[in-house]
Amino acid sequence: MGQCGITSSKTVLVFLNLIFWGAAGILCYVGAYVFITYDDYDHFFEDVYTLIPAVVIIAVGALLFVIGLIGCCATIRESRCGLATFVIILLLVFVTEVVVVVLGYVYRAKVENEVDRSIQKVYKTYNGTNPDAASRAIDYVQRQLHCCGIHNYSDWENTDWFKETKNQSVPLSCCRETARSCNGSLAQPADLYAEGCEALVVKKLQEIMMHVIWAALAFAAIQLLGMLCACIVLCRRSRDPAYELLITGGTYA
């Protein structure tokens, strides 16, 4: 009966090691996705420390490849030392993922203040005639998120670009996709996106941070199961004489 339990635990452990390899790829993908998205919105969010959870989660993903290899080898070879090392590394990674979750929540709470401080400066420096990186970022965000201005399209009236052009119009990136003849004129507000960009940028960045948090929580739960199975194999190997005889090739007298 004990040996049957050990075999079941070993089977689950091998399966979990395969999951670790898949999890490693997913975690690296989530981390890379955060980096790529941050690059699109970095003008609206100056605190680069927000990328720390993404850096950590990529490092954890890379480490999971190694953990899966160690776990498979230790399980197949019935190595007590290998399984103990496997459990210790899993415990360290589990603690790291808990830190990622905490950091994710901390930086998620800071997003709104960061965006509010940065977006004002970006809109004030907009130049639609000779667009720089920040100006292109504004046009990109307005097209992607279907928004216009900071709170609404009327915010453009307070920008230097609007005052200099003197044509009573906002950038074409404010035009709705369905408005084919839109030229950005404030005289035709129905052709413009009504919602401001600040709230949508905040929502987008918070959603990205939640991806990191949920990924870390999900794989932390899997690692707990992996540690449990490894501990079961270790404990039963130590306590079950029949299992020891099976491994060493001995027989009962």
Task: Say which CATH number the domain at 191 has.
Answer: 1.10.1450.10
∠ CA 240-243-248, rounded to 5°? 125
99: in domain: no
Tell me which of 1 and 58 has the higher pLDDT: 58
Q: Among 113, 125, 119, 116, which residue's Cα sits nearest to residue 159? A: 125
On the 0-12 / 13-18 / 19+ scale of CB atoms within 10 A, 125 is middle
Residue 96 has pLDDT above 50, yes or no: yes
Distance from C-alpha of 193 to C-alpha of 176, rounded to nearest angstrom = 6
11: in domain: no
* pLDDT for the residue numbered 249: 45
Model confidence, pTM: 0.73
* pLDDT for the residue numbered 173: 92
**DSSP H or E stretch at residue 77:** none
Helix (H, G, I), strand (E, B) or coil at 192: strand
Domain that holds residue 165: 108-223
Domain count for the chain, please give it: 1
